[in-house]
């Protein structure tokens, strides 16, 4: 074999190893960061002073059930194929619509990148930190609560919409979300409760079908619900998978 061929083969070998190793290292870094955020949240949850005040959570839910849900023109930014273009705008506009007492505490939560909860989906063997908002930084390796939808605290009338990417080049967030079926369960743990939800409906929708991201009608006595939103597949454009789940068990911690 000539010297040029040996150099070419060596170059291809090194390039191939780089293509394999770099994504793996990046994924390990993201997984490590996610695990660190979850562990920090769990430690903070042991300190009662770190909990969100119950009056704050109740007041926010009351604000939503009074009809202040995110409107469809803003929800469409979540379903857009390029959501990062409007995510920060969506969050800021949502905050502006909150009463003064709620707005300032939400700003503190967002500025400090406070983890609101964790979500564990046993069937796909994934657990992620949950933040408020769906900005690019949050969705890079975590799950985001869509602004102006409920916090997951199991209160009657809650309608919490959680967004997560359908995997990515380096991170497998919700890559296997399509494996979930009606009857499957997942758990959301906030600072004081462990909430178990069961999937009861699954829809594949286009990006303009934003009506599913808010309850069909307001009912402040309805069972708490969560909607998981992701891409229809890792390469889909213009379609989303929505998994609707209702609260079936609440455990105080």
- Split into its structural domains, the chain has a count of 1
Q: Which residues contact 159 (CB under 8 A, 6 or more apart)?
A: 64, 69, 149, 150, 214, 215, 224, 225, 227
Task: Give pLDDT tens digits for 219-253.
Answer: 667 899 999 999 887 566 678 899 999 999 999 98
The domain of 222 spans 3-252
Q: What is the CATH number of the domain that holds 19?
A: 2.40.260.10
Task: Read off the pTM.
Answer: 0.83
Task: Give pLDDT tens digits for 175-201.
Answer: 889 999 999 999 999 999 999 999 999
Q: Which residues contact 129 (CB under 8 A, 6 or more apart)?
A: 34, 37, 38, 41, 115, 118, 142, 143
Question: For residue 162, what are its two tokens?
Answer: 């959680």
End-to-end Cα separation, the chain, in angstroms: 68
HEC readout, 101-147: HHHHHHHHHHHCCCCCEEEEEHHHCEEEEEEECCCHHHHCCCEEECC
pLDDT band at 77 (very low <50, low <70, confident <90, very high): low
Task: Give pLDDT tens digits for 136-172.
Answer: 778 878 898 888 789 999 999 999 999 988 865 556 6
């Amino acid at each position: 074999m000539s010297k040029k061929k040996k150099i070419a083969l060596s170059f291809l070998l090194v390039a191939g190893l780089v293509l394999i190793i770099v994504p793996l290292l990046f994924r390990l870094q993201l997984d490590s960061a996610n695990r660190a955020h979850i562990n920090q949240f769990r430690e903070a949850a042991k300190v009662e002073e770190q909990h969100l005040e119950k009056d704050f959570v109740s007041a926010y839910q009351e604000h939503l059930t009074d009809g202040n849900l995110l409107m469809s023109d803003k929800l469409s930014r979540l379903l857009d194929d390029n959501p990062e273009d409007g995510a920060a705008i969506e969050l800021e506009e949502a905050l502006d619509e909150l009463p003064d007492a709620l707005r300032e505490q939400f700003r503190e939560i967002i500025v400090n990148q406070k983890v609101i909860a964790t979500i564990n989906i046993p069937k796909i063997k994934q657990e992620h930190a949950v933040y408020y908002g769906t900005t690019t930084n949050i969705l890079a390796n975590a799950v985001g609560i869509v602004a102006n939808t409920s916090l997951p605290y199991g209160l009657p009338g809650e309608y919490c919409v959680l967004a997560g990417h359908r995997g990515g080049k380096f991170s497998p967030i919700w890559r296997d979300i399509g494996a979930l079926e009606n009857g499957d369960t997942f758990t959301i743990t906030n600072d004081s409760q462990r909430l178990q939800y069961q999937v009861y409906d699954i829809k594949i929708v286009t990006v303009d079908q934003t009506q599913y991201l808010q309850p069909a009608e307001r009912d402040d006595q309805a069972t708490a619900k969560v909607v998981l939103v992701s891409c229809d597949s890792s390469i889909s454009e213009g379609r989303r998978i929505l998994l609707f789940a209702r609260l079936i068990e609440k455990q105080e911690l």
